[in-house]
Structure 1
Amino acid sequence: MAGSRNRLYMLLIGACLVGYLWLFVNLNKETSIFPNEVNVCLFKKISTIPCPSCGSTRSVLSLLHGRIEQAFLLNPIGLLLFLIMTASPIWICIDFLLKKDSFFIFYNKAEHILKQKLVAIPLIVLVLLNWIWNIYKDI
């Protein structure tokens, strides 16, 4: 169990670090390494249709600037990303310091709940509605 816990923790910390780097690159377009907006969505590049998560970077950046309504309108998934990128590294560090498994236990319980049809189907519908909204907004 400790091995899978550590793998999960390292995966999440690594994903958060990549996310922080991506946010840093996009934080200020005037001083950014990439002066123009960079579209890394492979789905959108191939199909010209935005994916359900298109706009989530701009959503998180809006949250960082205190613009909650704008963040929600850009992409509600950004709110979830912000929460995960903020809470999970802190929680994981606390687990490492206290030699606990509380985040791992929480993750496993959440995964179990999300696999239940009564929960999974409405969440899938929400993602599809978000996708339709992204297409409508032509994000």
Structure 2
Amino acid sequence: MTRNRLYLLWFLALLGGYSYLLWAFFTNAQHQNFTPCLFKNATGIACPSCGVTRSVLLLTHGTITDAILLNPLGLIVAGIMVVSPFWLLYDVALKKDTLYKSYKKFEAIVTIKWVAILLITLILANWAWNITKGL
């Protein structure tokens, strides 16, 4: 993937994520029975990332413990959503490619067999927990 394509996709993902969070925040969407999860809508079973949006919303309300209990992946997503707009802006404004280089390095690390197995195991454990909680 090229630098420009990555930055465009990253920007669009951030724009979509922030737009949905703003909509959910102001419409109190977590109390409605709406889920954007295609997997859950199709199967009725929570996916590994079900609850991430609600977890991030809980973080915006300052309830960190509830956010972690709902889905710990929400902390990672929230961290990415806070840091990456500034990182992206820094790279674009100063014509750097630090985000791209970090992405490529991360991509190389997750292709190491033991790292991939560890991450897959953690995601599967989170998925089992989501199903057990009835998300």
Please state which band the TM-score falls in when normalised by the shorter chain: over 0.9
Are positions 1:60 and 2:56 aligned together? yes
The 5 A counterparts of 1:73-92 are: 73-92=69-88
Between the aligned partners of 1:78 and 1:112, the Cα distance in structure 2 is 24
Q: Which residue of 2 aligns with 1:41?
A: 37
Contact map agreement 1:95 1:103 (CA 8 A) in 2: yes
Q: Which moved more, 1:82-91 or 1:127-136?
A: 82-91
Q: Which residue of 1 aligns with 2:22?
A: 24
Please give the TM-score of this superposition, normalised by the length of structure 2: 0.93
Instruction: Give 5+ residue unaligned stretches, structure 2.
Output: none
Q: Deviations over 1:83-134 (max 9, x none)?
A: 1111111101001111111111111001100111111101100000000000
Please give the TM-score of this superposition, normalised by the length of structure 1: 0.91
Q: Which residue of 1 aligns with 2:118?
A: 122
Detail structure 1 runs of 4+ shifted over 6 Å in the superposition.
none
Are positions 1:12 and 2:10 aligned together? yes
Q: Deviations over 1:35-71 (max 9, x none)?
A: 8231121211221110011101110001111111111
| Equivalenced residues, count | 135
Identity, % of aligned pairs? 48
Between the aligned partners of 2:96 and 2:16, the Cα distance in structure 1 is 25
Between the aligned partners of 1:43 and 1:109, the Cα distance in structure 2 is 30
Instruction: Give 5+ residue unaligned stretches, structure 1.
Output: none
Are positions 1:95 and 2:91 aligned together? yes
